[in-house]
Structure 1
Amino acid sequence: MTTDTLVKPSFKKAGSDDFYKDLYKEVQIKVLTNKRIQNQIIFKSIFFIALYFLFYSCILVYGNSLPLLLLFYVLTGITMILVFLNAFHDAAHGAIFPRRSQNEALTWVLELFGSNSYIWKKRHLVLHHPYPNMQHWDIDVKQSDIVRIFPQSKWYHFHRYQHYYMWFLYFLYTLNWLLVRDFKDFFGVKDNYLKRIVKIPKIEYVKLFTAKILNLVIMLGIPMLVLQQPWYHVLAAFLLMHFMASAFGVTALLSTHADEHAEFPEPPADGQIDMTWAMYQIRETKDFSTESRIANVLFGGFNHHVAHHLFPTVAHTYYPSITPIIRKYAEKYNLEYRSYPLHEAIYSHFMLLKKNGSSENLFLTGEL
């Protein structure tokens, strides 16, 4: 099958006995009526955004001390990921404020970080969320030819070492996003999932370059001008910030879809998926460390990822209350719900890289 002949997938219509109807009703009655939980995400969003600006201000105020310069750059980077996971991501799903315009305004924080919120939302909401792990559609799972996540992707000799080298490259995740990935989305022609489904408005090109320049001015230019530090100290702190931010962010992103037991189905030739949308979301998504209060605070509901995929427009502060209900229905209907401690989820990703790095790959993929 070539990408030129792809038919947009559609899911099997849910019957009267579909588990999701009862699950949705129970969640609505028992969980979503608690507006106090909704207020928690508004507080978290404002708090982490304020913390980001506080730590950045500390760079300019205390950055003449090299240890403090490095410390506050790292804290700024970590807080950037906290804002992304806890505020931006929910706002992109329209899950924080009652008005769409309010959520839309908050998503502009991604431009502050040097990226493009328009293209991220197209990637995430149009390609990833409907079709997680599906080859030729899920752009969030297929990152580049450097790593072979999809078992049927082209194999290169260097892939046999990917379970080693990717752990070093993951430290470059946010730098790659800032300097490479966005440009590939806007200008790339090879296997560009986005160009199949969207025509990027011209204004977004202007916003893309403006955001990149603004971010570099804020994070590098201003500290170099204000501080009595050699330029290379500021550059080193900037790079360290991205290394640590990447390590923290990738921890959440790796642990939700791409593990050794994951299935990466090819889209059916006729586009008809013999499975309901809700069944598919449960099969292709997994949770990690759902009982951890620290994980619940830090990861913005990514650790309750099944709840997120089943209730994408619901604030992540509700997910710890929703996940036990999902478990109950999974047991009742014999569904493929999976949840692991974080360290096991990361190890399982390592095993996936090792299996898919082999030229004689025996990894079994699901056919829908």
Structure 2
Amino acid sequence: MEKLKRPVYVKTGTDDFFKKMRTEVNETILQNSSLYLLNIVKSLGLLFLFFLFYYCILRFGNSTPLLFLFYILCGITMIVLFINAFHDAAHGALFKKSKHNQWFMYVLELFGGNHWLWTRRHINLHHAYPNVPDWDIDIKQSDIIRIFPSSPLFHYHKYQHIYMWLIYPFYSLNWIYIRDFKDFFGTKDNYVKKVIDKIPGKQIVMLFTAKIINLVYLLFIPILALQQPWYMVLGAWFAMHLCGSILGVVALVSTHVDEDAHFPVTDEEGNLSATWAMHQMIVTKDFSTDSTLANFLYGGFTHHVAHHLFPSVGHTYYPYITPIIKRYAQEYDLPYTSYPFYHAVRSHFRMLKSKGIKENIMMTGEI
């Protein structure tokens, strides 16, 4: 794919709210080292918990109910690990030393992912230009779903608010076994190659190695070790991915793509209409920020505005940063939205329904 000119944000002025906000956060919230240690304990604890549940599959999996139970617990823990620990490490926010974050990211390979690719896809495209058409690959993933107003409209999109209920539960399977290969080798609409000149041969080897290792220990070893029919283990493995994906999709659809979402476009010279910080607040939403359970499960996604403004800060700090963001939003008349997760999910599917039909120009104000 031909590389496009990177979008350019508006330069900040002398009275930039974010400079003041960042100074306040640095001088107050980030001085609490206990929140840093909490993040490390939580991350390592989740990793231990995943492999404990995996051990329970091999130890108790001859009982079919327990087989499914521990596979499902593995799936939930896998997604929570990704959303919390791996997500923070990718941003250099888990450990203080960058090499420790890089070492931890290699653990992602055990879950079938490719940390080299995902880090570039997530940080260089999504975080750099969230909700910007042709750049935010976390939103533009497939023609199966239409979210960007500028994306082509196909006849089947009028049903996307219905069939996506059936597709979203396969998200982790798509991510591990389809999307990575598409980004490595695909030629059509390969947005990753805008920011990657050449994929190192080492990463191609690691891509295949990670997938094979993941399948061997999570699927083939239990099939060989347990006194269960192969299709029963396969069914439990599918249940692991389905339940994990359902949990993870709540975070994916609640932060950027509701019915009031903005998708800023550049002018002819590639300029956006807002500063970087203002852009993050316009296109990002919070959900269930007051829920202790949601904050534990979803980490930097419940307080997602804080994450986009302070991506190099661990998610355990965000519940303390968000009140500062709210105060600045009120003082400077800035956009800020937070709502319960069920409202976010409902709003996302209403958005899918509206984007699946031809827009009425009388309603969109084009004339």
User: Normalising by structure 2, what TM-score?
Assistant: 0.97
Q: Provide closer, same or farther for how the CA distance between residues 116 and 341 of structure 1 changes in structure 2, counting only shifts above 3 A.
A: same
Give per-residue Cα distances to partners, 1:302-332, cap 9 Å, x unaligned: 1100000000000000000000000000001
Residue identity opposite 2:317 in structure 1:
Y
Return the alpha-carbon distance in structure 1 between the equivalents of residues 245 and 360 of structure 2: 29
Give the aligned partner of residue 104 of structure 1. 102
Q: Which residue of 2 aligns with 1:260?
A: 259
Shift of 1:266: 2.3
Q: 1:212 corresponds to which residue? A: 211
2:236 corresponds to:
237
Instruction: Report the CA distance between 1:109 and its aligned residue.
Output: 2.1
Stretch moving more, 8-17 or 43-52: 8-17
Alignment of 1:18-167 (within 5 A): 18-167=16-165
Contact 2:266 / 2:273 at 8 angstroms: preserved in 1? Answer: no
In the alignment, what sits opposite 1:327? 326
CA distance in 2, matches of 1:116, 1:188: 16
Distance 1:267 1:120 in 2: 25
Identical amino acids, percent of aligned pairs: 56
Question: Do 1:93 and 1:313's aligned partners in 2 also have CA atoms closer than 8 Å?
Answer: yes
Q: Is the 8 A contact 1:135 1:267 kept in 2?
A: no
The one of 150, 169, 188 aligned to 1:171: 169
Structure 1 unaligned residues grouped into runs of 5+: none
8 A Cα contact 1:263 1:365, kept in partner:
no
1:341 partner letter? P
State how far apart, in whole Å, the 1-side matches of 2:33 and 2:359 are: 53
Contact between 2:265 and 2:272, CA under 8 Å: does it hold in 1? no
TM-score, with structure 1 as normaliser: 0.96
Tell me the number of residue pairs that the alignment of Structure 1 and Structure 2 aligns. 364
| 2: CA distance, partners of 1:268 / 1:118 | 32
Q: Name the SS for the 1:14 alignment partner.
A: coil
Q: Give the equivalent residue in structure 2 for 1:291.
A: 290
Give the Cα separation in 2 of the matches to 1:45 and 1:359.
45
Q: Would the alpha carbon gap of residues 53 and 66 (structure 1) be closer, same or farther in structure 2, given more than 3 Å must change?
A: same
1:202 deviates by 1.0
Query: Are residues 262 and 115 of structure 1, via their aligned partners in 2, closer, same or farther at CA, if it must alter by over 3 Å?
Result: same
Q: State how far apart, in whole Å, the 2-side matches of 1:314 and 1:67 are.
A: 40
Contact 1:263/1:364 (8 A) holds in 2: no
Q: What secondary structure does 2:94 align onto?
A: coil
- Give the equivalent residue in structure 1 for 2:336: 337
Give the conservation status (yes or no) of the 8 Å contact 2:4–2:194.
Answer: no
Q: CA deviation at 1:5?
A: 7.2
| Alpha-carbon distance between aligned partners in 2 of 1:317 and 1:46, rounded to the nearest angstrom | 14
Q: Which amino acid aligns with 1:221?
A: F
Q: Which runs of 5+ in 2 are unaligned?
A: none
Moved over 3 A (4+): 360-366
User: Contact 2:145–2:157 at 8 Å: present in 1 too?
Assistant: yes
Partner of 1:10: helix, strand, or coil?
coil
**Contact kept? 1:355, 1:361, Cα under 8 Å:** no
Q: Could you say if the C-alpha distance between residues 33 and 186 of structure 1 is closer, same or farther in structure 2, counting changes exceeding 3 Å? A: same
Shift of 1:365: 10
Rounded to whole Å, the distance in 2 between the matches of 1:226 and 1:143 is 37
CA contact (8 A) 2:54 2:70 kept: yes
Deviations 1:174-212 (A, max 9, x none): 011121111110011111101122021111100000001
Q: Distance between the aligned counterparts of 1:361 and 1:145, measured in 2?
A: 22
The answer to whether the 8 A contact 1:9-1:268 is kept is no
Query: Higher mean Cα deviation, 102-111 or 157-166?
Result: 102-111
Letter in 2 for 1:84: F
| 1:68-96 Cα shifts (integer Å, max 9, x gaps) | 00000000010001110110000000001
The residue identity in structure 1 corresponding to 2:226 is L
Indicate how the Cα distance of structure 1 residues 365 and 123 shifts in structure 2: closer, same or farther if over 3 A, else same: farther
Cα distance in structure 2, aligned partners of 1:119 and 1:164: 31
Q: 1:114 to 1:5 in 2, by over 3 A?
A: closer
